[in-house]
Amino acid sequence: MKHYWTGLAALSLVAMSGSGFAEGFGGPRDMPGDFGNPEWIVEHLSRRLDLDDTQQKALQNVVDAAAPEMNELRDKARQNREAIRNLDVADPDYDAKLADLARQNGELATSATLLHGRLRAEIAAVLTPEHQKSLAEDMKHEGKRRHDHP
């Protein structure tokens, strides 16, 4: 029974931390911990904010520069989830292995949060004050919508 609750707690941790840093800038995601499709970020913001060509190119440069790190974090998060799923609850070292994977998951969540914050700042630097205000309002409403409709 102890293994059941430990496993359930670990799965909850993975789900919560994944969803916490997966919100990114919105857009389609194929799994928790995913930043979404980097191209979608550029397309969505360009269309939503009616960015000019210079801003679109600058935004594309920001996203292109971050894409390898986003992909690496996505891959590591996927591997972490698979490792947790593949743990054998009958293994005498189950709790220690699970604790190690949970620690790794926390490190991934920290890295993803820092990357997300850096991207937000770099994207904001490309935008006009009006665009920044519009995006902030959109994110506020999106967060409220997600909170109101679980």
Identity of the highest mean pLDDT range in 27-31, 97-101, 121-125, 146-150: 97-101
Which residue type does 26 have? Answer: G
Q: What confidence tens digit (pLDDT) does each residue in 103-145 have?
A: 999 999 999 999 999 998 999 999 999 998 888 888 787 665 6
Q: What is the Cα–Cα distance from 45 to 48, expressed in whole angstroms?
A: 5
Q: What confidence tens digit (pLDDT) does each residue in 14-73 have?
A: 443 443 333 444 444 444 445 567 778 888 888 888 899 999 999 999 999 999 999 899
**Architecture of the domain whose range is 35-148:** Up-down Bundle (1.20)
Higher-pLDDT residue of 3 and 38 is 38
Query: What pLDDT does 141 receive?
Result: 73
Q: What is the DSSP string of 45-57?
A: HHHHHT--HHHHH
